[in-house]
Structure 1
Amino acid sequence: MSPIAARARWAGTVLLGAVASAALVALFSRLEARWVGVCWVALVPWLWILDRTRSWREALFAGGAFALSFTAAVFGWFPEALHSYSQAPLPLCWLALLALAPLMELQFFTFALVRHHLRRTVSTGAWWRIPLLSALVYVGTEALCPKLFAETLGQGFFPSESLRQVADLAGAHGLTLMLLLGNECVFAAGKALVTRQGARRVLAPVAVLVVLLLGGVGYGTWRIHQVALAEARERPLVVGVVQANITKYEKLAAELGTYDVVRMILDTHYQLSDALLRERPVDLLIWPETVYPTTFGTPKSEAGAEFDAELTGFVSEHRVPLLFGTYDLEQEREYNAAMFLGPGREGTLTRSAYRKTMLFPLTEWVPEAIDTPWLRERLPWTGYWKRGPGPRTLAVSLREGRPLTLAPLICYESIFPDYVAEEARQGAELIVTLSNDSWFQGTPAPRLHLMHAGFRSIETRLPQVRVTNSGISALISATGEVLAEVPDDHRASLALTVPVTPRLSTVMVVWGDWLRPTALGVSLLWLLVPGVLARRRGKTGGYFRAA
């Protein structure tokens, strides 16, 4: 066989293994319980490819093949959503996604390179170092990747009620570490069995896999029991949520006019809220992100002042505290905000605001360093909002004066573990997320966003009420269970009975997102220190020989 034919055959084999693993990952990325078991074997075809690499170039190629296959299989819905939002040509949207894949999925390259290096340098008796150090490098590299969707493989365990509880120790990346080691165990046992390496080489990785599985399930079962006991001691809240399923405000404004659109949005929310309040009194009423699509409290027109007065009148008349999404204006700086209005003493209203900090790049916020007329002209859909001051809690007074400290989040912020952990450290008792996922309506994105929200509740052991414009609005328990939801592309108003959980300590709240930087530091020391010591010993030995 000619060298060119041999290389082509090798490349085809690599692509086949990468595509096979990517297809398996795509199955468990659906977040359905029936596919959770695939998490333990999804990487085995790719590991088989990596075990056959003969040079760092081949390892690099294998990493790139999986990065592209993974991105296309798991995020294949994104180019269509980007095309719909920006009107950019669909092929260009696909090209942008795949071009960014090596940067966003850098962990596949470092994992492949380090694993190849270790296979050549680690002795047979210390084989366990290969999977452990490779997994630490993988998790550590994810701390450096600019991931738009904060995805990590361990999120595939979310449908498992018991295994996902491990996230309060080390977040979803702790589950990624478990998944990587589990796949290495399956691969090692299978390889030993096929090559007839003896019962010990087969049983050792199987035993490690069993320990991982039983340890995760056992810990999760214990934490679920703890949460249930804590919830039973507290009086629940009743929270009303409204999902009106009105989307694409800009398009509606162009067709109907801005005033008529705001009028329609508010009237719809008034009607849905009235119907809800007639059925049952609520402690707090919540409307979604940017539901009041203009500045509240600093009106820009007479019509804006009219809408402000109408909304405050609604709260006063119904005597119900309201949290809603709007814009907040300060000295010509505009913020995406959550505004709280509550009945005060002698007919007055209390008011407080939370400003969104973690803005989605370009669509909501453009860094000042690149914010130029040239960019705005070519990307007219870029946003003008400014960043808020960071994690903040809201101390609010509910119906009948009951105090409550909220951890407010707006849309994109719910994917950042450290951000939510900081609000928990500030004394939050309930996470409230206002979101607008309508740009991704009809794609897997709303379900993926809900999964992120679930992990934030597990990591902080706080219940969460999530309210969106078009879905998925939900009530999430402190164990990540979705207790109630309004599906994507539906209109509804619900009264949710929220089980309040007294503050349960978690490693994630105390230490934050600690695993990734720790894994990065440990793996770098493990890889670099032996080489440095060897060079120093070589220099010292050379000096004494010369003497």
Structure 2
Amino acid sequence: MKKNLPLAILSGLLLWIAWPPTPYTTFLLFIGFVPMLLAIENIINDDKPKKGRRVFNVTFIGFFIWNSLSVYWVYNALKIVGEVVAIPITLIPYSLGPLLMATAFWLYYRLRLVAPRWVALIGLVCFWIGYEYLHQSWDLYFPWMTLGNGFAVSHQWVQWYEYTGVYGGTLWIWVVNILAFLIYTSLREAQTKRHRMALIMAIVIVVTVPLGYSLSVYHNYVEEVNPSNIVIAQPNIDPYEKDGTIPPASQLEILIQLSRQVAQPNTEFFIWPETAIPAPVYINEEQIGQNDFIKQAQLFLRKYPNGNLVTGAETYRLYNNRATPTAVPSPWGGDQFADFYSTALNIENGDRIQTYHKSRLVPGAESLPFGDALSFLKPVFEHLGGATGNYAPEKDAKVLYSQSGIGVDPVICYESIWGGYIARSVKKGAQFIAIITNDGWWENTSGKDQHLDYAKLRAIETRRWVCQSANTGISGFINQRGDVVKHTEWWVKTSIKQDINLNSELTFYVKHGDYIPQAGSVLAGIGILFLLGMRLRKKQTLTA
């Protein structure tokens, strides 16, 4: 343990140093797992007992260091709901991710006991990809630490994400790490020079071919000219003062004035941040056109014939009974129930108003994980004033259309880290991506920088411009090859405009989605079944 724990800690530190938003250190991802693999090799080859437990403990510590240092800002984002709720929710990214990562390594150890090392290493990659896919799919999802996201600050290296998505990056990192590990062990185990040279040639090819291809695509990529003028407003309203301290009408006026400062007669989209129309003004979707703030926004748009406003709001629907699993007793009394939504509105220069409800809700803070199984807790949260599990989700990706037929993918905050989900909107007709977020909850931490960096990967995967409007974070425009062409500073009240190019072509990744993690998960499942079968066979042999 004494020599293996430092190796695991070294892996955790290397991965943290390599992680966005730190520039110029991305290459460390290619060796970050090597010390941990060596630690496991030491455990396998020593004569001490409880090897499986030691493998799990050592890897968990290393991954806890990597995760907690990389997403230390999560607590800031949740503390507004109160420490009682924020502390346990914070443990999801700090501890649950490392728990799943360590489990993948434990499964690798178990496979090493019954299979050759090369088979077990292939199994490790599948177990890891399976964990990543699980962690973006179940109710406790947090795919922020998906390995492929690590290239967000070096997006020039992964232009081929238009074919693979971020899971191609995960696969690339693992193959290089495994080859580096095998080169080291070949030296330690005195393997033949020919074997070492083959490994060295393999690692050179695996690094340089994808990198060279990507750089070639990056420098030769030319967008088809199809311009649309977009305005982004960043109101810089302190999220802790947003609800109650600053009147909603004043907040709306700030956004209107900022938008007017840079708008042109041909501006087609104004993009305002998440909950730009704040929580004290819940909008009844059945009467949305009668809302005074909606009318004020429509009045603003009259000066722009082709203008559309994509804005965040909080909306609700009323029912005479508990019509949906997410409905709660109406806070306005009576026998009615209500669903509340974090919503993106597309308000046209006319009467039509389209809605999209946030689908990927923050576990605990915005949704009750495993709602059916934990439904007995709903009255507790209702008693707490809906501190958690408060929003109802959209069932699937959606496209909002302008009156001229331009399709925009509305992405609300946390949703921007789901490449496959965004790809579904693009497949349905979105020609650019609008991310509306707050980001001020994270304060001046790396969270806001990571959020913008990750958006670059969505641009590459879909070959769509990304327009991000943050309340107090960083707003910006990202072109189709992932370059941030214009951005605001943090904690600045401002607005920016840009002529973007709309795109209707579909990338391979958009057409086929997350095929890599799906295949990896199937192989991981086969590996687990194989281990269970071997364990059962061993028991039968012992009892025979």
TM-score, length of structure 2 as denominator length: 0.83
Q: Deviations over 1:244-270 (max 9, x none)?
A: 111226x4544x4xxx52122112112
Q: Match for residue 336 of structure 1? A: 342
1:390 aligns with 2:396: yes
Relative distance call for 1:56 and 1:422 in structure 2 (3 A) is same
Mapped to 1, the partners of 2:494 and 2:216 lie a distance apart of: 36
Relative distance call for 1:107 and 1:335 in structure 2 (3 A) is closer
1:384 is paired with a residue of what secondary structure? coil
Q: Is the 8 A contact 1:246 1:469 kept in 2?
A: yes
1:273 aligns with 2:259: yes
Mapped to 2, the partners of 1:301 and 1:527 lie a distance apart of: 51
Q: Is the 8 A contact 1:315 1:342 kept in 2?
A: yes
Q: Match for residue 52 of structure 2? A: 56
Alignment of 1:376-525 (within 5 A): 376-378=382-384, 381-382=387-388, 384-397=390-403, 402-506=404-508, 508-525=509-526
Tell me which protein shows more helix as a share of its residues: 1
Q: Match for residue 218 of structure 1? A: 212
Please report how far the alpha carbon of residue 525 of structure 1 lies from its aligned counterpart in structure 2 after TM superposition: 2.9
Q: Identity of aligned pairs, percent?
A: 22
Aligned length: 502
Mapped to 1, the partners of 2:88 and 2:274 lie a distance apart of: 31
Q: Match for residue 5 of structure 1? A: none
Please report how far the alpha carbon of residue 359 of structure 1 lies from its aligned counterpart in structure 2 after TM superposition: 1.8
Please report how far the alpha carbon of residue 494 of structure 1 lies from its aligned counterpart in structure 2 after TM superposition: 0.6
1:70 aligns with 2:66: yes
Larger Rg computed on CA atoms: 1
Q: Is the 8 A contact 1:338 1:355 kept in 2?
A: yes
Q: Is the 8 A contact 2:59 2:105 kept in 1?
A: yes
Please report how far the alpha carbon of residue 151 of structure 1 lies from its aligned counterpart in structure 2 after TM superposition: 1.7
Mapped to 2, the partners of 1:99 and 1:353 lie a distance apart of: 30
Q: 2:182 aligns with which of 188, 195, 202?
A: 188
1:327 is paired with a residue of what secondary structure? strand
Alignment of 1:328-367 (within 5 A): 328-331=315-318, 332-343=338-349, 348-366=350-368, 367=371
Q: 1:165 aligns with which of 154, 159, 162?
A: 159
Relative distance call for 1:161 and 1:148 in structure 2 (3 A) is closer
Q: Is the 8 A contact 2:412 2:437 kept in 1?
A: yes
Unaligned runs of 5+ in 1: 1-9, 540-547
Unaligned runs of 5+ in 2: 45-50, 319-337
Q: Is the 8 A contact 1:171 1:459 kept in 2?
A: yes
1:282 aligns with 2:267: yes
Relative distance call for 1:270 and 1:431 in structure 2 (3 A) is same
Structure 1 stretch 518-527 or stretch 22-31: which is displaced more?
A: 518-527
Please report how far the alpha carbon of residue 440 of structure 1 lies from its aligned counterpart in structure 2 after TM superposition: 1.0
> Aligned letter for 1:66?
G
2:247 is paired with a residue of what secondary structure? helix
Please report how far the alpha carbon of residue 421 of structure 1 lies from its aligned counterpart in structure 2 after TM superposition: 1.6
Q: CA RMSD in A?
A: 3.1
Relative distance call for 1:500 and 1:133 in structure 2 (3 A) is same
Q: Match for residue 321 of structure 2? A: none
Q: Is the 8 A contact 2:20 2:453 kept in 1?
A: no
Q: Deviations over 1:334-380 (max 9, x none)?
A: 3222222222xxxx443222222222223223447245332344576
> Aligned letter for 2:24?
R
1:263 aligns with 2:249: yes
1:239 aligns with 2:236: no
2:491 is paired with a residue of what secondary structure? coil
Higher relative contact order (Cα pairs below 8 Å, separated by 6+ residues): 2
Q: Match for residue 325 of structure 2? A: none
Q: Deviations over 1:435-475 (max 9, x none)?
A: 11111121211122223322222222222111111122111
Q: Deviations over 1:264-310 (max 9, x none)?
A: 211211211121126x74222111111112245769999x8443332
Relative distance call for 1:99 and 1:477 in structure 2 (3 A) is closer
Q: Deviations over 1:200-235 (max 9, x none)?
A: 23222222221221221133235436641xx1x322
Q: Match for residue 544 of structure 1? A: none
Q: Match for residue 83 of structure 2? A: 88
Q: Is the 8 A contact 1:190 1:202 kept in 2?
A: no
Q: Is the 8 A contact 1:289 1:325 kept in 2?
A: yes
